[in-house]
Amino acid sequence: MPDKRSVTVGFQSWQQEGVQRSTMQGELYRLQTGWTLIYREPPDENGLETMNTLFVHEKELRLRRRGTIFFEQSFRQGDALPGKMETPYGPHDVEALTSQLVIDLSESGGVIEWKYDLLMQDQPVGSFHIRLDIREEQAG
């Protein structure tokens, strides 16, 4: 049985449009091979929640977003890895070239931070910088 902790996730995302910040509730699972972090984003303009699952290994991160847009992508520093995105307009193959990946997690939380360029059909979509500050919720 994996070890589960309730956590608060401080989310920051730097993109061309500026900085986005939010705080979300989540669960952090300790697994034999790494960690799994699950958190929900606040509802979007259509009232739909997005569920994010991060599979965290020593040198690789895999993100699965389920919401209006489905996005599954792996990140490994220095590598371009394939992924997929499904929008209301159909499925798209994407690729992420990760320039930075920092994983510093323990049972009480930690930081996951990564920077990447996203390509769709070999065309740049954007550059992204994401930081998650994960803290175990204190009972009481």
Residue with tokens 């020593």: 58
Amino acid code (one letter) for 57: H
Domains in the chain with CATH codes: 3-136 (2.40.128.20)
| DSSP label at residue 2 | -
How far, in Å, CA of 123 to CA of 121, rounded? 5
Residue 18: its pLDDT value, please?
A: 84
Would you call 116 exposed, middle or buried from its count of C-beta atoms within 10 A (0-12, 13-18, 19+)? buried
pLDDT at 35 over 80: yes
pLDDT band at 1, cuts 50/70/90?
A: very low
pLDDT at 31 over 60: yes
Q: What is the pLDDT of residues 103-137, one digit of tens each?
A: 999 888 999 999 999 999 889 999 999 999 999 98
Amino acid code (one letter) for 75: F
Q: What is the pLDDT of residues 42-82, one digit of tens each?
A: 887 888 889 999 999 999 999 999 998 899 999 999 999 99
